[in-house]
Amino acid sequence: MTEMVVTPAAGLVALDLWHDTDHATAAAELGIALPGPGQALAPTLAPTQGMAQGMVLRVAPRRWWLDGAGFPATVPATTGVVTAVGGAWNRVRLSGAGWRDLLMQSGLIDAENPAFGPGSVAVTPLCHVRCAVHVRATAQCDVFVPRSYTEHCLSLWRGLGWHEVAPESGELREAAHLS
Amino acid sequence: MLLIPCPHCGPRNQEEFAYERSVDSLVRLDDAPGVAMAALYARANLRGEDHEIWVHVQGCGQWLRLTRDRVTHAFRDVEAL
Amino acid sequence: MAATGRSGSGIAAQTIGFVFDGRRMQAQTGDTLAAALVANGVGLVARSFKYHRPRGILATGVEEPSALVTVGEGAHAEPNVRASDVFVYDGLVARSQNAWPSLRWDVGAINSLAAPLIPAGFYYKTFFGSPARWMLYESVIRRAAGLGLPPTVADPDAYAHRSAFCDVLVVGAGPAGLQAAAEAAEAGRRVILIEQDAVPGGSLARETVTIDGQPGMAWAQATAARVRAAGGRVLTRTTATGYWDDNFVTAVERRTEPGQPGADIAQVLWKLRCGEVILATGTIERPLVFVDNDLPGVMLAGAVRTLALRHGVAAGQRVVIATSHDDAYRTAFALAGIGAQIVAILDSRTAPQGAIIDAARNRFAVHTDARPLRALRKGMQVSGVEALVAGTRQRFACDCLAMSGGASPVLHLHRQAGGALDYHADRGAFLPGAGRQANRTAGAAAGVHDLSAILPQAVIADPLGAATAPQPGPVWRGEAPGKAFVDFQNDVTTSDLSLAQREGYVSVEHVKRYTTLGMGTDQGKTGAMVALAQIADGRGVALPEAGLTTFRPPYTPVTMGAFAGPMHGDHAGPIRRLPLAAAHDALGALWVPAGLWFRPRVYPHAGESIGTASLREARMVRASAGVVDVSSLAKFEIAGPDALRVVAAVCATPVEKLAVGRGRYTLMLREDGIVMDDGTLWRLADDRWLLTSSSGGAARMGRHLSYVTDILLDHPRAAVVDLGEHWAGLALAGPRSAAILADLTGAAVPAHMGLADAMIAGVAVRILAASYSGERAFEVHVPAHHAAPVFASLIDAVRAAGGGAFGLDAMDHLRVEKGHVVIGAEADGRTTPADLGLGGMLRKAGGFVGWQGLTRPAMADQTGRRQLVGLTAIAGGAINEGAMLVVREGDEPLGHVTTAAPRVAGEGSIALGLLVDGRARYGETLFAWSPTRRSYVRVSVGPPLFYDDEGARYRD
């Protein structure tokens, strides 16, 4: 299987913590998990704690992406700040064991390393475009592609034998603004 | 192409990074004009180690200070800024 | 070389057809073109670069300097292919090159007769004078001396790039490489083994050895299979072309042969990041130096042996072998084994010893202290050799002369990696010294030739005994008159080297450039060491003292398409599409590239020119209203308790007193005081700011903000978030814009430079009241995935009001009339705020990036600086962008036109320009002179403002 499903990452929110904010304290305060470098985690710290659903991705030393629903809309100014960024990104979900090969043909990170497995996150150029990769499963990963470059990347990946499959909701694809 | 140890992402290829400047050409906002202009325009470029500021601009955005041998390009040290 | 027919090579092969110079021939699968040509009795394959001398096959590897051919037809034609580096496929078409009208009757060969007149440095000595004369010479030289012609149509092949990481990269699948790869893979390491040949085996292809009971090539296949079975990756037909910093190796994999159409991907450029690199790259045999050593039929002895043992082809029926070491003796046995006659073995050594010498003496006529002086020629082919045997001249008739002047370890990658070389005088060769990266050299490339030393655990059975280290051939001291070649591809002879030396070119780097030694596509792989020995001898120094030229990547020529990979056409630079691209298409937009973005330039009506359409759109904005897509603008949110510190450091204008809900125009400077970018700064909340800046400078501004935050301010409690792509931006401008917007949002519109949140078409938007056109105007910001309904509503509303969409050209006309600057045009990397008339905007107290730079006398003193002015064409004619501003045609320019535009309000041509002491020249008359566009327009100089001086139209 070599399938791509493109949807807007509409709900994506950036959480920035201050340089001197302790991550563990902030995680407890916000009630969400804050994964370490190169990692993604489900947001729930404990079954009793927090309402958020989805995924938290570490994309920078002091930045996490909150991808889902129920995340805090604001955070205390002493801790950090949240900013909606979802209009900027499309999510390309690659289903098929060949996603590693696709990444190796598009960029220069060691995606073939078994250590780069489910739960891994890498921000790196693919097709000369800075993208974020989130490994979801052995045979599936999400690539967050800047909206303006999406068609550029998709057309190169089509050339590598990946074909696009419509998302369950057609409106989503329209919102991704793909011609 | 150099392999640069990003303190956040681990080793990544040079093409993901941008060179900013040598540490000795850093201009602080409160530097006197004479000091600032000397830092920008009157610098030495000696054989030996250089302390350089780079940024992982195509990756996590981390700024780093690399200690690099100007002859062999070998990195001795990296520090997150 | 009358050889035809095959002896049993033991390989089951199929017969396939190919064409050389129009002649249909047959080959066997697995044949190189070189092997197939020899098998078909083709001796003459090419004409040499400079003298058009007849040339044949010299070698059987990538080092072949002479037998360059064009393979393939039409768009698939690939010039300068080494006949030894293309495997014949059914239907292959090859052509000789650099010969006219034919290979046999080449008019250019007259150069050969004129050879005494074309010595080293001929071009430098003959063609000098003005550059204009050089242009003339060059076209003549290029026609006379050259290689194959490039195809004139686009390359139809597809190329891919592929990265891979490994613990161990092994370059070369000869015995040493195979052994190293198998060991590493079976120890659980990630291994990549690359081999430029189509099959593994390397030197085993020219040996009759058995390893652990298997024939050498079968052992190679089995060992490669072991590497694969242990999880390793084996890439054949793949050449390591460059060794870069930090164990980064590039390699080119050929998935189709040169000229072969039809495959999905023709070549793959591999980018390999390796923990450790093992270079098992073997050796390249050297020629001997004697007169006419370039004749077809004079070949490297190892190549002759490869043809015999790998391809079952005898390069000749009566063969003389000339050598300086043991290895060529093996060629004698191999040839004899397929029925060729060994006329003589000429060994330059006086008393060679060893088992193989003894064995040869029993079967062949072995002459010691014997070396060739001159190859004898019959037609286009060698017919014999005149040799000096123990001081006496003797002639031997032959149809093939197999020579060996030693061998050079292939150390190109080792040197590219920064490794040292150690000279071994006994071998006349450099061996790898200390490496600078995590690499080591193994096998023959490291000077180890005995198989039992390379494969210590294996049982080796070689009927000819263990291989020994090669020794160099004798230095040529002009013992016979004529041309003795050291660089076959570039036609460099020993006389050229002597001449260079006599003329004072001592350094080997100078000799190289003067004679073109080693500057061909083969980079002197076969002859460079021979030439160095000659140069050292001429200077009376040891070889290392003569020096060595640089080993530069690529190791073998790389097709440009492999470098480009898939990044060509629309992908040569990625195209950035606006979120509303489809909607603009529906409106009939004509697109224009702006950086990587494609933006609507105009929306022409049927039959309308671009100029007419853009002026119509601009007048529409002045009359009613228009909408322009400004989504590509850079937008940053800066938020947090310390956000003001960041904003104050980046923006050179006052910021602290900006009220929440208000914005203002601002400038961002470089450290030297020059304008980096401009934009608007908005205070969204007490500790939250929005900064917009130019589309083209977005990446630079993002990095600058990050630098200021993380480096200069040492991590304040503030985050900078790049929202350039998050927000689509739609600018609504014109006298009707406020009414339209109020109607759409059902709310009062913000005052000029105010902002408000609102709803349009059910979507939450942010409205910024800023004007770039001089009219009352608003930017509507909406998250990009919700932009479509908002844009549709705006377009419907402006159309109902008599307006419509407008493009970049109209926007440019409107802003020129108002004197607004553009980064890259007016702010061109040399202008200060004061140059642009914006000096009064700056914060007097400083404290922003660039304040120190502005204090420099040359910046602070306005005298003599180029300042922004407005220009109006006086007597008709259009001002040209880029035109010089002069007092008289031919004068030194006083400035230049930065942007030209038609008047929107009124008629005629206006422009913005940068002019020395411009503000003191208001009222003067100058000429906008563009000799390249043959334009000379009289202009009057004035302030950079042509419309609504008081700014009444954009205020509330």
pLDDT digits (tens, 9 = 90+) for C527-545: 999 999 999 999 999 999 9
The whole-angstrom distance between B1's CA and the closest CA on chain C is 5
Comparing CA positions, the residue from C395, C94, C61 lying closest to residue C202 is C61
Contact A152 C724 (CB under 8 A): no
Decide if C297 contacts C314 (C-beta within 8 A).
no
Distance CA C372, CA A32 (A): 84
Q: Which residues of A touch B18 (CB under 8 A)?
A: none
Q: Please tell me the distance in Å from C680's CA to the nearest CA on chain A.
A: 20
> What tokens does A155 get?
């057309």
Interface test with chain B among C161, C244, C246, by most B beta carbons within 10 Å: C246
**Are the Cβ atoms of B9 and A123 closer than 8 angstroms?**
yes
Summarised one tens digit per residue, pLDDT across range C359-381 is 999 999 999 999 999 999 999 99
Q: Do C852 and B36 touch (CB under 8 A)?
A: yes
Residues in A touching B62 (Cβ below 8 Å): 60-61
Query: How many domains does chain A contain in total?
Result: 2
How many angstroms separate the CA atoms of C916 and C866, rounded?
Answer: 4
Cα C18 from chain centroid (whole Å): 33
Average pLDDT for chain A: 92
Distance CA C453, CA C447 (A): 11
Give, to the nearest 10 degrees, the angle between helix C787-800 and helix C737-745: 130
Label the pairing between strands C298-300 and C400-404. parallel
Tokens of residue C904, six digits: 């929107």
Residue C472: exposed, middle, or buried by beta-carbon count in 10 A (0-12, 13-18, 19+)?
buried
Cβ separation A152–C575 shorter than 8 A = yes
Long-range contacts from C884-893, C-beta under 8 angstroms, 24+ separation: C884/C928, C884/C929, C884/C930, C885/C913, C885/C915, C885/C926, C885/C927, C885/C928, C885/C929, C885/C939, C886/C926, C886/C927, C886/C929, C887/C926, C887/C927, C888/C927, C889/C927, C889/C929, C889/C936, C893/C929
CA–CA separation, C568 vs A115, rounded Å?
A: 33
Query: How far does the CA of residue B36 sit from the closest CA of chain A (Å)?
Result: 27
With a cut of 90, say whether residue C759 has pLDDT above it: yes
Query: Looking at the structure, do residues A33 and A70 belong to the same domain, yes or no?
Result: yes
Out of B3, B61, B63, the one facing C711 most closely (by C-beta) is: B63
Write a three-state SS string for A109-167.
CCCCCCCCCCCEEEEEEECCEEEEEEEEECCEEEEEEEHHHHHHHHHHHHHCCCEECCC
Q: With a cut of 60, say whether residue C8 has pLDDT above it.
A: no
Residues 6 or more apart whose Cβ sits within 8 Å of residue B78: B4, B5, B7, B64, B65, B66, B67
pLDDT digits (tens, 9 = 90+) for C432-454: 999 999 999 999 999 999 999 99
Test mutation, B28, B29, B31, B58, chain C, max C CBs within 10 A? B29
Q: Where are the domains of chain B?
A: 3-80
Give residue-wise pLDDT tens across range C906-954. Answer: 999 999 999 999 999 999 999 999 999 999 999 999 999 999 998 888 8
Question: CA C470 to CA C455: how far, in whole Å?
Answer: 19
Residue C174 has pLDDT above 90, yes or no: yes
Tell which A residues from 61 to 100 touch B, by Cβ distance under 8 Å: 61, 63
What pLDDT shows up at residue C3?
Answer: 43
Question: Cis before residue A125, ω within 30 degrees of 0?
Answer: no
Do the Cβ atoms of B56 and A122 come closer than 8 Å?
Answer: no
pLDDT tens per residue across span C369-426 = 999 999 999 999 999 999 999 999 999 999 999 999 999 999 999 999 999 999 999 9
pLDDT digits (tens, 9 = 90+) for C243-263: 999 999 999 999 999 999 877
Long-range contacts of C466-469 (CB under 8 A, 24+ apart): C467/C326, C467/C327, C468/C325, C468/C326, C468/C327, C468/C354, C469/C325, C469/C426, C469/C427
CATH number, domain containing residue A158: 3.30.1360.120
Q: Which residue out of C671, C708, C709, C722 would a mutagenesis test of the B interface target, given it has the greatest number of B Cβ atoms within 10 Å?
A: C671
Burial of residue C568 (CB within 10 Å: 0-12, 13-18, 19+) is middle
For residue C162, list chain A residues with Cβ-Cβ distance below 8 A.
104-105
- Give B-chain residues touching A108 at CB under 8 angstroms: 12-13, 15-16
Q: At what angle do helices C643-650 and C698-707 cross, to 10 degrees?
A: 120
Q: Which member of A108, A129, A177 has the closest CB to residue C579?
A: A177
Within 10 Å of residue C782's Cβ, how many Cβ atoms?
A: 27
Q: Which domain holds residue A126?
A: 2-9+87-176
The Cα C733–Cα C825 span in angstroms is: 23
In Å, how far is B48's CA from the nearest CA of chain A? 30
**Closest listed residue to residue B64, CA positions, set B39, B12, B45:** B12
Whether A104 and C163 lie within 8 Å, measured CB to CB? yes
Q: Are residues A76 and A113 in the same domain?
A: no
Dihedral pair phi/psi, residue B68, rounded to 5°: -125, 140
Q: Are C447 and C461 in contact (CB under 8 A)?
A: no
Q: Are residues A41 and A105 in the same domain?
A: no
> With an 8 Å Cβ cutoff, is B10 touching chain C?
no
What is the model's pLDDT at position C144?
56
Distance from CA of C724 to the nearest CA of B (A): 16
Per-residue confidence band for C11, with pLDDT thresholds at 50, 70 and 90: low
Q: For the residues of C448-495, what is the DSSP string, one character each? A: ---HHHHSTTS-EE-TT-------PPPPP---SSS--EEETTTTEEHH
Nearest by CB to B40, which of C672, C710, C851?
A: C672
| pLDDT at residue A154 greater than cutoff 80 | yes
- The shortest CB-CB distance from C712 to any of B2, B29, B55 is to B29
Indicate if A172 and A99 belong to the same structural domain.
Answer: yes
Give the pLDDT score at C2. Answer: 41
- Eight-class DSSP state of C854: H
**A·B CB contacts under 8 A:** 37
Residues in chain A within 8 Å Cβ distance of B15: 108, 125
The answer to whether the CB of C419 falls within 8 A of the CB of C432 is yes
> Would the ipTM clear 0.95, i.e. be above it?
yes
Q: Count of CB atoms within 10 A of residue C537's CB?
A: 18
Shortest CA gap C709–chain A (Å): 11
Q: Tell me the HSE value of A113 on the side-chain side, using a 13 A CA sphere.
A: 14
Residue pairs spanning B and C at CB distance below 8 A: 58
Q: Percent of chain C beyond pLDDT 90?
A: 86
Q: Which of A86, A106, A123 is the last residue of a domain?
A: A86
Distance CA C510, CA C631 (A): 56
| A177/C726 CB distance under 8 A | no
- First-to-last alpha carbon distance for chain B, in angstroms, is 23
Q: Are residues A93 and A48 in the same domain?
A: no
Residue C668 pairs with which residues in a beta bridge? C651, C677
B78 contacts chain C (CB < 8 A): no
Q: Which of C131-135, C564-568, C755-759, C876-880 has the lowest mean pLDDT?
A: C131-135
pLDDT tens-digit series, residues C775-792: 999 999 999 999 999 999
Which of A86, A110, A138 is the last residue in one of the domains? A86
Check if the beta carbon of residue C204 is closer than 8 Å to that of residue C444: no
d(CA C667, CA C693): 9
Residue C152 banded pLDDT, cuts 50, 70, 90: confident
User: pLDDT value at position C550?
Assistant: 85
**How far is it, in rounded angstroms, from Cα C538 to Cα C557?**
32
Disruptive mutation site among B2, B4, B60, B79 for chain A (greatest number of A CBs within 10 Å): B60
DSSP strands (E only) in B7-59: 10-13, 18-22, 49-55
Hey, which residues does C396 pair with through a beta bridge? C385
Q: What is the mean pLDDT of residues C33-55?
A: 93
User: Which of A83, A90, A103, A130 is the mutation pick for testing C, counting most C CBs within 10 A?
Assistant: A83
Q: Chain-wide mean pLDDT for chain C?
A: 94
B47 touches chain C (CB under 8 A): no
Q: What is the pLDDT of residue C146?
A: 62
Residues on B contacting A at a C-beta cutoff of 8 Å? 7-10, 12-13, 15-16, 58-62, 80
Question: In chain A, which among 24-43 make CB contacts under 8 A with chain B?
Answer: 37-38
For B20, B54, C658, C695, C711, the CA distances from C700, given in Å and listed in that order, are 12, 14, 25, 10, 16
Chain B: residue whose CA lies nearest to C417: B72
Residue C224 in contact with residue C267, Cβ under 8 Å? Answer: no
| pLDDT of C10 over the 60 cut | no
Beta bridge partners of A17: A80
pLDDT in tens, C595-606: 999 999 999 999
Q: B73 CA to chain C: closest CA distance, Å?
A: 8
Q: A32-50: b or e for each residue (b if 16 or more CB lie within 10 Å)?
A: bbbbebbebbebbbeeeeb
Please tell me whether residues A101 and A160 are part of one structural domain. Answer: yes
The predicted structure's pLDDT at residue C102:
79
Q: What is the pLDDT of residues A75-89, one digit of tens each?
A: 999 999 999 999 999
- For chain A, give the percent of residues with pLDDT over 90: 83
Mutate which of C161, C253, C725, C781 to disrupt the A interface (most A C-beta within 10 Å)?
C725
Nearest CA distance, B19 vs chain C (angstrom): 11
- Statement to judge: residues A151 and A162 lie in one domain: yes
Q: Same domain for A72 and A112? A: no
Whether A49 and A122 map to the same domain: the answer is no
Task: Please list, in sequence order, all residues whose beta carbon lies within 8 angstroms of the beta carbon of residue C811, skipping any fewer than 6 positions away.
Answer: C628, C772, C773
Q: Which residue of B has its CA nearest to A61?
A: B8
**Mean pLDDT for the stretch of residues C842-870:** 95
Confidence at residue C1, expressed as pLDDT on a 0 to 100 scale: 44
C174, C203 Cβ separation under 8 angstroms: yes
Domain boundary (A59, A86, A113) is at: A86
Task: Report the SS3 class of residue C524.
Answer: coil
Q: Which two tokens stand for residue C601?
A: 């330039």
Q: C45 — phi, psi (to 5°)?
A: -120, -30
pLDDT score for C149: 83
Tens of pLDDT, residues C628-653: 999 999 999 999 999 999 999 999 99
Q: Which two tokens stand for residue C772?
A: 């770039």
Q: Looking up tokens 């007097």, which residue turns up?
A: C844
In this prediction, residue A174 carries a pLDDT of: 65
Residues 6+ apart with CB under 8 A from C947: C774, C817, C818, C904, C905
pLDDT for res C130: 64
C-alpha distances in Å from residue B26, one per residue of B21, B29, B35, C846, C857 = 7, 10, 10, 18, 22
pLDDT of the residue at C145: 55
Same domain, A65 and A104: no
Residues C792 and C829: their CA atoms lie apart, in Å, by: 38
Does A153 lie in the same domain as A78?
A: no
CB within 8 Å of chain B, chain C residues 681-710: 703, 706-707, 710
CATH class in words for B3-80: alpha beta
- The residue of chain A nearest to residue C641, with distances taken between CA atoms, is A77
What is the CA angle C511-C512-C517, rounded to 5?
A: 120
Does residue A106 register a pLDDT over 50? yes
Chains that touch A (3 or more CB pairs under 8 A): B, C
Q: Are C825 and C783 in contact (CB under 8 A)?
A: no
Predicted confidence (pLDDT) at residue C239 exceeds the cutoff of 50 = yes
DSSP H/E element including C113 = helix C110-113
Q: Is the pLDDT of residue C12 over 90?
A: no
Strand C15-20 vs strand C23-28: parallel, antiparallel, or unpaired?
antiparallel
- State whether A91 and A139 are in the same domain: yes
C783 and A156 in contact by Cβ < 8 A?
no
